[in-house]
Amino acid sequence: MKQNRRSFLQGAAVAAVAGSASRILGANDRVNVAVVGLGGRGRAHVTEWAKVPGSRIVALCDVDQAALERGQALAEKTTGEKTKGYVEMRKLFEDKDIDAVSMPLPNHWHALATIWACQAGKDVYIEKPACHNVWEGKKMVEAARKYNRMVQIGSQSRTVPIVIRAMQLLKEGVIGKVYLAKGLCYKRRPSIGHKPDGPVPPGVNWDLFLGPAPMRPFNENRFKYNWHWFWDTGNGDIGNQGVHEMDIARWGLGVAYPKSVVSFGGKYVYDDDQETPNTQYASFDYGGMQIDFEVRGIFTDGTQAMPRQGRNTVGDLFYGADGYMSVDGSGFQVYKGEKHEKVMDEKAERGVSSTMAHMDNFAKAIRSRNYKDLTADVELGVISADLCHLANIAYRVGRKLTFNAQAGQFVNDAAASKLLTRDYRKPYVVPDKV
């Protein structure tokens, strides 16, 4: 009883701290936003937040001093206002002037940064994939609910009107009973080559960059964008570009976790430092329905239903009893009957930023304090990310896996279940109790 009381008091104290660190915003109050992570996507966050009505960029953070200074210069040029600068996100989270954090961070930082921000009373926009592994995604959802934080995942397709319409049409039976969704991530990725380990560049805090990941010597290929291709920090292209298409695939089918998953492929053609596959196939069995997913990073063609756009073919195909639908960034098409007659062809609205609209949805939920107003709430984003993780685990162990979603474990496969989480490097540990 004493232990329960102590736990209750500790939880109440933490919740009180979180509450005191957040302002209550009225309908006309500006949302003060900080951007954490200022690589290419981070700079895009700066320019997009500058367009969101009723928001203001007040602080920036990056472990690379040069990137931080470039970000501050961009913010001032874009908004006409100077921003505070931080190297450590925990210091930024202590700033009571900040209402929300927008975090285009490497995947391995998504969970811990989100949990810390929630504990500090900040609302969170975190880029996709929601998490780096399955276990920590659960902790993100727990933190969002415990501290009553709005946590939006950067799956901006959930806010795009043309995609919402396509998904509604599938639900209404436009192609009859849907039995198969195919996600395509044919995105050209040149070889990253080999790079030697070397000294940490001046102004870079390498320890903070690695965070929860194991300590490694500095290597240019493990820094900036190429961290995607290493298991320590990324999830390959199925968890990079592919998680968008995975999200749409399961959205269209109306499913969550599969009964089983199989995945195979490899890193073909290239001799370089990349660890993740550049060619990967995954299939998820839902009993009466399935999702197939394919990653191709080397030269490839498109499909008849979804032609190549430039160097890439990225989108989803849905197959039903009466026909099929093709959905990508340009819009959607519906084909029906034995002759594959095109009966619908609707295009996306031009000139509308899906990222800005997604951020605007997040800002409105910050004011309403209702996470159900979010189009890509953390719980939705975690499930879609988890499908990518399940596929990668099946690929890494090299066998078909049966998954028990309720238990959060693979059935009779300890080696596969071990990959549902990771060994965290202290002090950057995702806590069991958030």
Query: Encoding tokens for residue 172?
Result: 């209404």
Query: Residue 432, class by beta-carbon neighbours within 10 Å (0-12 exposed, 13-18 middle, 19+ buried)?
Result: exposed
CB 174 within 8 A of CB 325: yes
- Collapsing DSSP states into helix, strand and coil, what is residue 196? coil
Residue 78: the pLDDT is 96
Buried b (16+ CB within 10 A) or exposed e, 199-211: eeeeebebebbbb
Strand 55-61 to 84-86 pairing: parallel
Longest dimension (CA), the chain: 72
Q: Would the CATH topology of 2-156+355-377 be identical to that of 158-202+222-348+385-418?
A: no
Residue 21: the pLDDT is 52
Residue 16: the pLDDT is 44
- Collapsing DSSP states into helix, strand and coil, what is residue 27? coil
CB 244 within 8 A of CB 328: no
Q: Using CA atoms, how far apart are residues 211 and 188, in angstroms rounded to an integer?
A: 29
**pTM (2 decimals)?**
0.93
CB 223 within 8 A of CB 199: no
Query: Encoding tokens for residue 310?
Result: 């430039």
CB 328 within 8 A of CB 321: no
CB 128 within 8 A of CB 387: no
Nearest in space to 97 (alpha carbons), one of 80, 83, 81: 83
CB 337 within 8 A of CB 322: yes
Q: Using CA atoms, how far apart are residues 382 and 378, in angstroms rounded to an integer?
A: 6
Name the residue ranges covered by the structural domains of the chain: 2-156+355-377, 158-202+222-348+385-418
Half-sphere exposure of 371 (CA within 13 A, CB side): 21
The identity of residue 380, as a single letter, is L
To which residue do tokens 């199989």 refer?
A: 262
Nearest in space to 282 (alpha carbons), one of 182, 132, 189: 182
To which residue do tokens 């109790």 refer?
A: 433
Inter-CA distances, 383 with 134, 251, 280, Å: 9, 11, 20
The identity of residue 327, as a single letter, is V
Q: One digit per residue, pLDDT tens: the chain, 434 residues?
A: 333 444 433 444 444 444 445 667 666 689 999 999 999 999 999 999 999 999 999 999 999 999 999 999 999 999 999 999 999 999 999 999 999 999 999 999 999 999 999 999 999 999 999 999 999 999 999 999 999 999 999 999 999 999 999 999 999 999 999 999 999 999 999 999 999 999 999 999 999 999 999 999 999 999 999 999 999 999 999 999 999 999 999 999 999 999 999 999 999 999 999 999 999 999 999 999 999 999 999 999 988 888 888 899 999 999 999 999 999 999 999 999 999 999 999 999 988 899 999 999 999 999 999 999 999 999 999 999 999 999 999 999 999 999 999 999 999 999 999 999 999 999 999 999 99
Nearest in space to 113 (alpha carbons), one of 191, 19, 34: 34
Residue 370 makes CB contacts below 8 A (sequence gap 6+) with: none
Residue 9 makes CB contacts below 8 A (sequence gap 6+) with: none
Question: Regarding the domain with residue range 158-202+222-348+385-418, which homologous superfamily does it belong to in the CATH classification?
Answer: Dihydrodipicolinate Reductase; domain 2 (3.30.360.10)
CB 366 within 8 A of CB 123: yes
Beta bridge partners of 86: 61
H helix count then E strand count, the chain: 12, 16
Instruction: Give domain 2-156+355-377's CATH number out of 3.40.50.720, 3.75.10.10, 2.30.130.10, 3.40.50.2300.
Output: 3.40.50.720
Nearest in space to 35 (alpha carbons), one of 385, 359, 376: 359
Half-sphere exposure of 192 (CA within 13 A, CB side): 23
Cα separation of the two ends of the chain: 21
Nearest in space to 428 (alpha carbons), one of 215, 275, 148: 215
